[in-house]
């Protein structure tokens, strides 16, 4: 018999086409939402939503979840030293270390209301196992780059393709191909990633124009051509591309990304903490047809995997940078973390609370002092500007309760603490 769940009398931030915020019941059959309204159903599980706000689970569109154990180890140092240390720590990993660190990061995300994440790394098969064991929805991009610049065994493109084949029909894991960035990936690697993605119908996830140094180094080697212009000229840019960062793009490049229907994962906390100097032109991206989403990036540079901080900081950073508090509204930011992310991931299943969609919810407790008095009118603003992850009382992914009354289901901190993380 299919498992059923009902959330009764909750304030629901639907993120549907009309961005309705309403009060009512949500009925879930199996992994999908089958009813939203005032009627009640007999169900196996009931959550009293009287003091609860139910919103679509947040979607983190850029991270390296198997690096969660690195928090606190890479702080307050120049970027060159940060990268040198990261690459060194990254090349010494064990399979159990990758699995355990991924599991830790996944629990951290579930705890803070993130119900889907996009990951860029190698050994994504181990990260897939961690996601499945925790019950997390995961979009995993196996990273490709030049063979002489990787510690991966074998050809990274062949590894990525094998991984996609292995998880192609999985319920929670959606596999795809990744590209590290222009500084370690040749045109052949980019075009091979595009070919694999076209053939297997996946997204392509990769870093793009994170730092000015990376752009200038590339221009020096390519007669003044900029990275995004270059990727357009070789025929790589396309609607499958989800670019992480996109901080240092010119208006011409913003238009090229828009013309090719590309997507950008904006990582404001990571960008600012690494002192990249600029801010991603998110307003210009939106005006030119680029779908903007948000990401945490790794715990080496953030140093957490939640999105409430990222959403608030991103929004207020744009306002301050442009001397205009009307820019990047709460609704726009919430869209980035929900419906925009769903579009960028080429799925219709997640990002909003509507009949037929996956039951992926973050539930906030409105008895928390900072959320008290939240109503239909203030719900979206309060999610972005007032809430933090401590307000998340319950989390549901694929119809399963993974956090209940502030307690993570299946999380055994004592056991996990003693595992290998390198």
Residues that bind Zn ion (CB under 5 A): 297
Distance of CA 119 to the CA centre of its chain: 8
- 297 or 332, CB closer to Zn ion? 297
Check whether the bond before 92 is cis (ω within 30° of 0): no
- 16 or 123, CB closer to Zn ion? 123
Cβ pair 127, 119 in contact under 8 A: yes
Cβ pair 307, 56 in contact under 8 A: no
- 161 or 297, CB closer to Zn ion? 297
Give the span between the Cα atoms of 66 and 71, in whole angstroms: 11
Minimum distance of Zn ion from residue 295's CB (angstroms): 8
Give the span between the Cα atoms of 221 and 18, in whole angstroms: 48
Minimum distance of Zn ion from residue 209's CB (angstroms): 12
Minimum distance of Zn ion from residue 254's CB (angstroms): 20
Cβ pair 206, 244 in contact under 8 A: yes
**Who's near 111: CB < 8 A, 6+ residues apart?**
306, 389, 392, 395, 403, 408
Minimum distance of Zn ion from residue 129's CB (angstroms): 21
Minimum distance of Zn ion from residue 64's CB (angstroms): 6
* SS3 state at 33: strand
- Give the residue at shortest CB distance from Zn ion: 297
Minimum distance of Zn ion from residue 337's CB (angstroms): 17
Task: Give the per-residue SS3 of 283-340.
Answer: HHHHHCCCEEEECCCCCCCCCCCCCHHHHHHHHHHHHHHCCCCCCCCHHHHHHHHCHH
**Residue linked to tokens 């960062």:** 245
Helical (H) or strand (E) element with 364: strand 361-365
Strand (E) positions, 145-268?
173-179, 204-208, 241-245, 263-266
Minimum distance of Zn ion from residue 62's CB (angstroms): 6
- 245 or 358, CB closer to Zn ion? 245
- 267 or 328, CB closer to Zn ion? 267
Minimum distance of Zn ion from residue 244's CB (angstroms): 5
Tokens of 414: 């004592």
- 124 or 297, CB closer to Zn ion? 297
- 125 or 297, CB closer to Zn ion? 297
Of 247, 253, 283, the closest CA to residue 267 belongs to 247
- 108 or 297, CB closer to Zn ion? 297
């Amino acid at each position: 018999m299919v498992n059923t769940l009902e959330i009764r009398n909750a304030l629901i931030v639907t993120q549907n086409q009309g961005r309705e915020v309403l009060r009512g019941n949500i009925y879930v059959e199996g992994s999908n939402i089958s009813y939203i309204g005032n009627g009640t159903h007999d169900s196996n599980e009931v959550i009293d939503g009287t003091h609860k706000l139910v919103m679509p689970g947040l979607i983190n569109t850029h991270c390296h979840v198997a690096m969660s154990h690195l928090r606190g180890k890479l702080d307050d140092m120049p970027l060159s030293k940060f990268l040198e240390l990261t690459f060194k720590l990254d090349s010494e990993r064990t399979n159990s270390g990758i699995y355990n660190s991924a599991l830790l990061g996944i629990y951290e995300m579930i705890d803070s209301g993130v119900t889907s994440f996009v990951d860029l790394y190698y050994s994504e098969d181990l990260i897939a196992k961690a996601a499945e064991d925790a019950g997390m929805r995961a979009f995993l991009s196996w990273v490709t780059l030049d063979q002489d610049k990787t510690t991966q065994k074998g050809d990274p493109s062949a590894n990525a393709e094998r991984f996609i084949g292995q998880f192609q029909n999985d319920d929670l894991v959606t596999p795809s191909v990744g590209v590290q960035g222009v500084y370690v990936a040749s045109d052949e690697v980019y075009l091979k990633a595009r070919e694999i993605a076209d053939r297997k119908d996946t997204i392509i996830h990769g870093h793009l124009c994170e730092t000015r140094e990376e752009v200038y180094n590339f221009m020096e080697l390519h007669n003044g051509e900029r990275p995004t212009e270059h990727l357009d000229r070789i025929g790589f840019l396309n609607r499958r591309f989800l670019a992480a960062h996109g901080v240092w793009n010119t208006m011409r490049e913003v238009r090229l990304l828009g013309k090719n229907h590309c997507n950008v994962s904006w990582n404001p906390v990571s960008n600012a903490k690494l002192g990249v100097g600029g801010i991603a032109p998110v307003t210009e991206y939106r005006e030119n047809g680029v779908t903007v989403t948000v990401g945490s990036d790794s715990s080496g540079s953030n140093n957490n995997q939640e999105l409430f901080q990222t959403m608030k900081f991103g929004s207020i950073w744009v306002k301050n940078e442009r001397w205009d508090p009307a820019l990047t509204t709460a609704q726009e930011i919430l869209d980035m973390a929900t419906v925009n992310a769903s579009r960028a991931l080429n799925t219709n299943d997640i990002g909003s609370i509507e009949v037929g969609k996956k039951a992926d919810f973050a539930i906030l407790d409105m008895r928390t002092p900072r959320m008290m008095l939240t109503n239909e009118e203030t719900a979206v603003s309060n999610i972005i500007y007032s809430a933090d992850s401590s307000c998340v009382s319950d989390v549901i992914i694929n119809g399963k309760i993974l956090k209940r009354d502030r307690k993570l289901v299946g999380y055994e901190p004592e056991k996990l603490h003693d595992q290998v993380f390198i």
